[in-house]
């Protein structure tokens, strides 16, 4: 149980504190942002843990001619939102993005080296479907070293595009990561020093080399 595949799903409308238009345009933590389902404290690793984030995804968006879908109308399961001039702006869905933050550093940057909103839901959709397929693969993975705080921040730019419940297409996000604990976290640190990618296969490989070197030592004696 010292290497464990983990997932975290966030849904904006799942609780009594759902996403509202006042949140639109602001980044909200999927762990402790006060919107949707949250956890009790910031996500962090202890001194004996190592986390490798392997995938992040957020609700997709479709692009259309403006006025094709009227506000409240649906296209491929996504709702047309927007207020005022943007009431039928051809952006169907939340126009959502997800950023990963380690301690205080944003992972995804624009080419001018300024932190951006992160991965668009159109590139890494959640859920995936034949209509909305991924164009993005989080490789290399994101490492969260022992003692670091990590977060995933969702920003969306389309008002009133979140359904009223999970069933009606709420704004959602997803994170897949692997948690290495105890001895496996030490091995993960060792692999990091050695410049080897940290994944369960390489952790197992390192364990095997340790066992082989130990068993070779008595034979030499």
Q: Interface with other proteins by CB under 8 A: which residues?
A: 24-25, 60-69, 75, 81-86, 89-91, 95, 97, 102, 105, 107-112, 114, 116-120, 122-123, 125, 129-140, 157-159, 194-197
CB of 115: closest distance to other proteins in angstroms? 10
- Interatomic CA distance for residues 64 and 86, integer angstroms: 13
Are 49 and 187 spatial neighbours (Cβ–Cβ below 8 Å)?
Answer: no
- Residue 85 or 215 having the CB closest to other proteins: 85
Backbone φ and ψ of 159, nearest 5°:
-70, 150
- Residue 39 or 83 having the CB closest to other proteins: 83
CB of 181: closest distance to other proteins in angstroms? 22
Find the helix or strand (DSSP H, E) in which 8 lies: strand 3-11
- Residue 40 or 137 having the CB closest to other proteins: 137
- Residue 38 or 176 having the CB closest to other proteins: 176
- Interatomic CA distance for residues 56 and 30, integer angstroms: 11
Backbone φ and ψ of 214, nearest 5°:
-70, -45
CB of 133: closest distance to other proteins in angstroms? 4
CB of 147: closest distance to other proteins in angstroms? 15
- Interatomic CA distance for residues 53 and 179, integer angstroms: 9
């Amino acid at each position: 149980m010292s290497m464990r595949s983990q997932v975290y799903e966030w849904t904006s409308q799942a609780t009594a504190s759902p996403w509202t238009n006042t949140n639109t345009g602001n980044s909200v933590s999927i762990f402790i942002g006060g919107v949707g389902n949250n956890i009790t404290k910031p996500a962090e690793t202890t001194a004996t843990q190592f986390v490798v984030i392997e995938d992040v995804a957020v609700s997709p968006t479709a692009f259309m001619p403006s006025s094709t879908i009227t506000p409240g109308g649906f296209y491929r399961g996504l709702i047309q939102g927007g207020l005022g001039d943007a009431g039928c702006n051809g952006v169907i869905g939340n126009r959502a993005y997800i950023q990963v933050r380690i301690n205080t550093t944003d992972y995804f940057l624009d080419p001018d080296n300024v932190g951006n909103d992160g991965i668009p839901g159109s590139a890494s959709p959640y859920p995936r479907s034949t209509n909305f397929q991924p164009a993005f693969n989080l490789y290399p993975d994101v490492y969260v070293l022992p003692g670091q705080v990590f977060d995933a921040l969702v920003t969306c730019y389309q008002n009133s595009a979140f359904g009223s419940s999970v069933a009606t297409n709420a704004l959602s996000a997803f994170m897949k990561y692997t948690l290495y604990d105890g001895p496996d976290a030490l091995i993960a640190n060792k692999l990091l020093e050695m410049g080897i990618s940290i994944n369960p296969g390489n952790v197992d490989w390192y364990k095997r080399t340790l066992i082989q070197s130990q068993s070779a030592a008595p034979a030499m004696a």
